[in-house]
A and B are shown apart, each in its own frame.
Chain A
Amino acid sequence: MQQAIPYKSWPLPCIDATSHRARSTTTLGHNGRGKDVLNIVSENAVIVLARKGCCMSHVVRRLLLTLGVNPAVHEIDEEDEAGVLNELGTICKGTESNKMVQLPAVFIGGRLFGGLDKVMATHISGDLIPVLKDAGALWL
């Protein structure tokens, strides 16, 4: 199995001190705004935005790990959720459907890819790995 190389590590001043996880997980404090989210998204080849403690995000994470991708995971606090989603909505207005971004949301190559549904469907149809490769998240 290929070695998972994080695309870019993201040093944040407010990294959780108790975090012992190898993968880069960022937690926005109360100062977090949509702009930061946008930055994070564009900085990572693959990033998963999710609520704290969401089990579905765990599913996405596990799946991507199985494929050899080490996704960045950005956990959003409950209070920030609305704001972040709004920002994401404005960002993604031009791309796909008009509906609100659902969490967990996966961004590949700086663009909104979709939710768990989309990831699963794409993976089953065999299109996920090419997409990940294109985004530079996977190396052969």
Chain B
Amino acid sequence: MFAIMPVFLTLLAKLIHVYFCFLPESKLSIALDINSTCAKVAFFIISKSMNSPTPHFVPSRLGIYEPIHQIGIWGENFKRNGNPNTSTSVIVEVDNKLENESETTSHEMLAPSNNYEQEASKPIDKIQRRLAQNREAARKSRLRKKAYVQQLENSRLKLIQLEQELQRARQQGLYMGGVLEGSHIGFSGTVNSGIAAFEMEYGRWVDVQHRQICELRTALNAHISDIELRILVESGMGHYFELFRMKSTVAKADVFYVISGVWKTSAERFFSWIGGFRPSELLKVLVPQLDPLTEQQILEVCNLKQSCQQAEDALSQGMEKLQETVSSTVAGGPVDEVSYIPQVATAMEKLEALVSFVNQADHLRQETLQQMSRILTTRQAARGLLALGEYFHRLRALSTLWATRPPEPSLP
């Protein structure tokens, strides 16, 4: 690139000389002056390019561009405009720029020279400005993007929180729908706290249950003594009784909550009977795991199955009767009358029996478990508890699997 410069300049000098021959006398002196200064200029440029070592050019890109651009402009101007006037003005412009001479008085020369000055400096300035603007714009764009991403992250977190809250509120809200609207704000608060407390406790209960199952499994495989096993069996049984107590407490707060089974996983809920598992179902799950049983045991288990079934049927029929009673109470009275408060109020009283049903059902479950533990040996009881706990654990796993199943492809 810099090798071209001397060639350019010699060519330039020649051309200047040629053109000056055509200049009027008056401007000749100026032209001569210009000629000399041009030589200086040329020298200057070359010296500038020579003196400044290459590294100096690298950091300041504008520095490199300046002389090149100027010369390039010269070249361009020479190529494009064969006009002597313009060429001289170019020279003049360079002169002005580098030597700071402003002796040209000729307006004719001045005006175009000013333009070119601007044009020549304009590109340089323009480039500088454009680059600066680019940098600025890029920086602003990066900042904006950063802010946007930050906002997105925050929104995402908030959304997750809201979804969780909604889930919880929906579960509670569904079962508070039974309470007469608007009139039980305080009551709702207590119900809510009762339910919230139960949910927390139940979560812990499930964790403890899981731990107990693992302990039972290891104990049975390790063949520990019967006395130690008995302790595990007792604590396992006690754990279930604890659940019944918890349910009794929350049933007083909101019996519909308990009966709905919303506190259990979906697969468990499928088997729900008056707010929990059916004792007869329990026995069906347990008994195959208890082999071998003595003849006496088989007989007793058989009797237990039958008694269980009978008790369950009696309770189910009682529930049906309660449904009929509530239904007829709510539906009673003339429908053309606007007021239904008496019917609804009476129905409310009847619904209180539901709490008794939940308690009786849990009581039946408890009695069934206790009778089983009486019939079985310690080891069998341990196996039974393990089987029962494992069954519920698998039901919960089934629920999770179901919940996370891939969505079905939409049919056309």
Contacts and interface: CB of A to CB of B under 8 A. Distances in A.
Interface of A: 53-56, 58-60, 62-63, 66-67, 116-117, 120-121, 123-126
Q: For chain B, which range describes its interface: under 10, 10 to 19, 20 to 34, or 35 or more residues?
A: 20 to 34
Given A56-B356, A126-B371, 18 more contacts: A55-B322, A55-B357, A56-B360, A67-B310, A116-B360, A117-B360, A120-B363, A120-B364, A121-B367, A123-B311, A124-B304, A124-B311, A124-B364, A124-B367, A124-B371, A125-B371, A125-B374, A126-B303
A63 B322 contact: no
Given A62-B314, A67-B310, A120 B303 contact: no
Nearest to A53: B325
Contacts, number: 63
B307 A124 contact: yes
B315 interface: yes
Given A120-B364, A124-B367, A125-B367, A58 B321 contact: yes
Interface string B188-219: 00000000000000000000000000000000
Contacts of A56: 318, 353, 356, 360
A59 B308 CA distance: 14
Closest 8 CB pairs of A and B: A59-B318, A63-B314, A62-B314, A124-B367, A55-B322, A58-B321, A62-B317, A66-B310
Given A66-B310, A126-B307, A58 B318 contact: yes
A56 B321 CA distance: 9
Contacts of B313: 62, 66
Nearest to B374: A125
Contacts of A66: 310, 313-314
A42 to B, nearest CB: 26
A55 B353 contact: yes
Contacts of A60: 314
Interface of B: 300, 303-304, 307-308, 310-311, 313-315, 317-319, 321-322, 325, 353, 356-357, 360, 363-364, 367-368, 371, 374
A117 B363 CA distance: 7
Chain A contact residues: over half helix, strand or loop, or mixed? Answer: helix
Contacts of A123: 307, 310-311
Nearest to A66: B310
B315 A59 contact: yes
B360 A58 contact: no
A139 to B, nearest CB: 19
A63 B314 CA distance: 5
Given A126-B303, A126-B307, A121 B363 contact: yes
Nearest to A122: B367
A53 B325 CA distance: 8
A2 B404 CA distance: 53
29 contacts: A54-B353, A55-B321, A55-B325, A55-B357, A56-B318, A56-B353, A56-B356, A58-B317, A59-B314, A59-B317, A59-B360, A62-B314, A62-B317, A62-B318, A63-B310, A63-B314, A66-B310, A67-B310, A116-B360, A117-B360, A117-B363, A120-B311, A120-B367, A123-B311, A124-B304, A124-B307, A124-B311, A126-B300, A126-B307
